Structure 1
Amino acid sequence: MEGQVTIIAATAIAVGLILAAAGLGSALGWGLITSKTIEGITRQPEMRAQLMTNTFIFAGLMESFPFIVLALAMWFVFANPFLAGITG
């Protein structure tokens, strides 16, 4: 029983770190996407439409990243593969 509690506690900490890293990575990605778009528009205003189209495409990709990581983290929470190795 003690081993199972240890694995569950370690999994909870790991899931918290995974979700924090996903949030930080997504925030940094959003910041880079928008800053480079604004920078490109200020350099070449005539390219605004094309830059905005690319921004929305990349923003959609960036938005999907935390959800994929969330799904992986929830797999560890609800179907923890490390608990299968404990006999007792």
Structure 2
Amino acid sequence: MTPELITELYASTALIVGIILAAAGFASALGWALICSKYLEGIARQPEMRPLLMVQMLITGGLMEAFPFIVLGISMWFIFANPFIGAAEMAIKSIGG
């Protein structure tokens, strides 16, 4: 395996991980926006439900916040324990290179 191929695999992985993290951050922000808008809409319809709606909003928001951290963990696995390097080595050995 040439150093250029290894460098290209790491660079491609880093680029894709960046795109994935950006998408996760955007999805989380969009989710928070939807959660908060529905919370305000619920308060506007039934003001007496405000405490119950706030608890539900915060629980759902906490779950929404967990999503980018899960994606971050998976992304770090791709960066530090890159499975594509081993797969590329096996593929090159199987073709006889």
Both proteins in one fold, TM over 0.5: yes
Counterpart in the other structure of 1:49? 51
Counterpart in the other structure of 1:9? 11
TM-score by length of 1: 0.95
Structure 1 runs (4+) deviating above 6 angstroms are: none
TM-score by length of 2: 0.86
**Contact 1:22–1:65 (CA<8 Å) still a contact in 2?**
yes
Q: Distance in 2 between matches of 1:33 and 1:85?
A: 41
Query: How many Å apart are 1:75 and its aligned residue?
Result: 0.4
Query: How many Å apart are 1:2 and its aligned residue?
Result: 1.5
Q: Distance in 2 between matches of 1:53 and 1:30?
A: 14
Q: Aligned residues, how many?
A: 88
- RMSD between aligned residues: 1.2
Aligned to 2:86, the other structure's residue is in SS state helix
What are the ranges of 5 or more consecutive residues in structure 2 without an aligned counterpart?
Answer: 93-97
Q: Distance in 1 between matches of 2:88 and 2:35?
A: 45
**Contact 1:30–1:59 (CA<8 Å) still a contact in 2?**
yes
Structure of larger gyration radius: 2
Q: Distance in 2 between matches of 1:80 and 1:29?
A: 30
What are the ranges of 5 or more consecutive residues in structure 1 without an aligned counterpart?
Answer: none
Query: How many Å apart are 1:86 and its aligned residue?
Result: 3.6
